[in-house]
């Protein structure tokens, strides 16, 4: 039994052992030279910040202590609406959930507001059948949470910076990275949490 286990371990461990370590500085240099036409103000796009570096190194499964550091650091980035009203217009939220526009090199100069492209990864309303499955279904999101005020705030935080609740989440940090404005995030929150939203009425 123990021998079998040892053999299994020996085999499963082989790819990991064969895996050559790449110095992060080497990867940085290779990336820098791979994008010779990058505008000067895009330099930060190439390197990623400390949180991204930690998530890359951990392949998105950070150890508990690192996860705590990430969550705390990212919490500091969240800016809340001054009037504590988190709910905007769900119709605008639906429009930005459909749009994948923004921040690609073909999107400059900007011709419209950035989108959140939520449907790329999430099921949201029943009506939209072309949705992705990289993220969890958001169907009946508010209803399932009984429209509680703390759930409204949590939804805002998740869209603003998903790494607070889930360090090394694969979802973009829409607020912290200035992909969406505060008003747009409130519209997205409305799509999820407003009782009139088709997400919750099932229309």
Q: Are 184 and 113 in contact (CB under 8 A)?
A: yes
Please count the other Cβ atoms lying within 10 Å of the Cβ belonging to residue 155: 23
Helices (H), 118-172: 141-144, 149-160
Q: 65 to 94, contacts with another protein by CB under 8 A?
A: none
**Minimum separation from the CB atom of position 103 to another protein (A):** 4
- In this complex, which beta carbon is closest to another protein, that of residue 22 or of residue 76? 22
Q: Applying CB under 8 A, does 203 fall inside the site for another protein?
A: no
For residue 187 the two structure tokens come to: 């519209």
Q: Which is nearer to another protein, 87 or 131 (CB)?
A: 131
Instruction: State the minimum distance, in angstroms, from the CB of residue 133 to another protein.
Output: 5
Length of the chain: 203
Contact 175, 185 (CB under 8 A): yes
User: What is the x/- site pattern for another protein, positions 130-169, by CB under 8 A?
Assistant: xxxxx-----------------------------------
Burial of 109 (0-12, 13-18, 19+ CB in 10 A): exposed
Q: Which residues bind another protein (CB under 8 A)?
A: 19-22, 26-27, 30-31, 33-39, 42, 45-48, 52, 55-56, 59-60, 103-106, 119-121, 123, 129-134, 170, 172-173, 177-179
């Amino acid at each position: 039994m123990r021998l079998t286990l040892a053999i299994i371990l020996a085999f499963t461990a082989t790819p990991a052992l064969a895996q050559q370590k790449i110095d992060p500085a080497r990867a940085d240099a290779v990336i820098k030279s791979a994008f010779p036409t990058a505008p000067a103000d895009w330099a930060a796009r190439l390197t990623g910040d400390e949180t991204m570096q930690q998530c890359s190194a951990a392949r998105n499964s950070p150890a508990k202590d690192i996860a705590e550091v990430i969550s705390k650091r990212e919490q500091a980035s969240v800016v809340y609406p001054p009037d504590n009203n988190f709910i905007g217009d769900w119709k605008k939220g639906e429009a930005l959930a459909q749009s994948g526009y923004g921040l690609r090199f073909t999107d400059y100069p900007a011709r419209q507001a950035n989108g959140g492209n939520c449907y790329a990864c999430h099921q949201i309303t029943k009506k939209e059948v072309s949705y992705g499955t990289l993220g969890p279904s958001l169907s009946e999101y508010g209803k399932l949470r009984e429209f509680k005020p703390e759930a409204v705030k949590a939804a805002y935080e998740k869209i603003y910076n998903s790494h607070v609740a889930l360090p090394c989440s694969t979802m973009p940090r829409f607020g912290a990275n200035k992909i969406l404005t505060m008003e747009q995030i409130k519209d997205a929150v409305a799509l999820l949490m407003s009782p009139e939203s088709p997400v919750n009425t099932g229309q």
